[in-house]
Amino acid sequence: MEGIAIMTSGGDAAGMNPAVKCAVDYSRKKGLKPFLIRNGLRGMIDGDISEATREDVSGIMHRGGTVLRSSRSQRFFEYDYRKQAYDNLQKLGINKLIVIGGDGSFNALNQFYSDFGVPFAGIPATIDNDIPGTDYCLGVDTALNMIRQSVDSIRDTATSFSRAFVIETMGRHCGYLAMVSALSSGAEICLVPEVEYDLEKIGERLRSDLNDGRDYIIAMVAEGTNMAEYLTRWIKINLNMDARLTVLGHVQRGGSPTVRDRIMAYKFAVEAVDALLDGETNKIMIFRDGDFGRLAIDKVTDSKVELNQQIIKLAEHLSH
Ligand SMILES: Nc1ncnc2c1ncn2[C@@H]1O[C@H](COP(=O)(O)OP(=O)(O)O)[C@@H](O)[C@H]1O
Ligand SMILES: O=P(O)(O)OC[C@H]1O[C@](O)(COP(=O)(O)O)[C@@H](O)[C@@H]1O
Ligand SMILES: [Mg+2]
């Protein structure tokens, strides 16, 4: 029986556990022998690999994070450690890999494929939604719901005071979480790296709203702009308003996967196993314009992610 190993790597994201469960169950159904690599790339180097049991993947669907655990490994950049990882796979008869992770993990596995020719299928999983070629990455819906819940709570206190609340979201260089959250929470300001912003115009607009009776402000700021602290000070000085900053941080990465993330996880996992059985060697599973598909890794690594134009159209007025 051919061995297939499943791992999670990079920043954890809700939906990783359902993807692991489905990848194990479906690959077994298809006549493969599923293995689990624990602790991501670090575990692959250290041989933290075992055949998947039914117990390993039972009762994990509803759990956030990744039960396989994850890592960001400096050693994987070095050939000698990758060779050690390859030897570990060889010993167990593993000749296919499924990696559930972000762009960094896909680069890692592509390097590993160039070194040793072990075919892999990538399942996009990162709250940042920053993988080119796919409209959706596992974990995004859960993160958006975690943010919504936090912003709703902040709004409760905001409505009790005449204050501005600046809320910073994660996302690295991608403004998706901030922009969608600005829409879903009815924010007055949204700053993301992809859209030019004009503080002068924002000031004019909000001063007029405040004169008309507005008494609090919610501002969503993507971490990639590095503007959250500055904007908080700017509001105090320019709008003459008390302002508070909340950096949401890792709260956004936690939480039980939403229904959307569970179902998407299943579909991505089936696609990944099928891709490998079809003889694909280094493809990333994608969801684009409502359909699932497979994209060559270089199409992913050589492009830059672009923010969805429809979302920009709906939210860009919050940047000026
Ligand atoms: N070019 C590369 N060569 C080898 N390993 C890499 C390469 N790029 C990334 N990696 C490995 O992949 C890991 C996961 O990538 P990272 O960017 O941290 O998370 P994510 O997969 O969520 O984007 C890195 O910590 C590193 O170990
Ligand atoms: O958890 P860490 O290592 O502090 O990294 C924080 C970063 O990880 C993320 O939560 C997820 O990013 P990745 O999916 O690329 O790992 C980013 O939004 C954030 O900037
Ligand atoms: Mg990443």
Domain count, the chain: 2
What amino acid is encoded at 208 in this protein? S
Best residue among 8, 9, 282 to mutate for probing ligand 1, ranked by most atoms within 8 Å of CB: 9
Around ion ligand 3, which residues have CB less than 5 A away?
102-104
pLDDT digits (tens, 9 = 90+) for 219-270: 999 999 999 999 999 999 999 999 999 999 999 999 999 999 999 999 999 9
Range of the domain at 54: 3-139+257-303
Residue 261 tokens, joined? 């993330």
Residues 127 and 262 in one domain: yes
128 catalytic? Reply is yes
Residue 222 falls inside a structural domain: yes
Q: How far is the CA of 50 from the centre of ligand 3 (A)?
A: 26
β 217-222/163-169 pair status = parallel
Residues 74 and 209 in one domain: no
The number of angstroms, rounded, from the C-alpha of 227 to the middle of its chain's C-alpha atoms is 21
Residue 36 falls inside a structural domain: yes
Beta carbons within 10 angstroms of residue 205's beta carbon: 16
Catalytic residue among 25, 128, 130, 261: 128
The whole-angstrom separation of Cα 311 and Cα 317 is: 11
Q: How far is the CA of 318 from the centre of ligand 2 (A)?
A: 25
pTM for the model: 0.96
Residues 163 and 16 in one domain: no
pLDDT digits (tens, 9 = 90+) for 19-61: 999 999 999 999 999 999 999 999 999 999 999 999 999 999 9
pLDDT digits (tens, 9 = 90+) for 211-223: 999 999 999 999 9
Could you tell me the CATH number of the domain that includes residue 42? 3.40.50.450
Q: Are 219 and 189 in contact (CB under 8 A)?
A: yes
Residues 54 and 8 in one domain: yes
Residues 147 and 111 in one domain: no
Could you tell me the CATH number of the domain that includes residue 220? 3.40.50.460
pLDDT score at 304: 87
198 Rama sector, left if φ>0, alpha if ψ -120 to 50, beta otherwise: beta
Residues 69 and 126 in one domain: yes
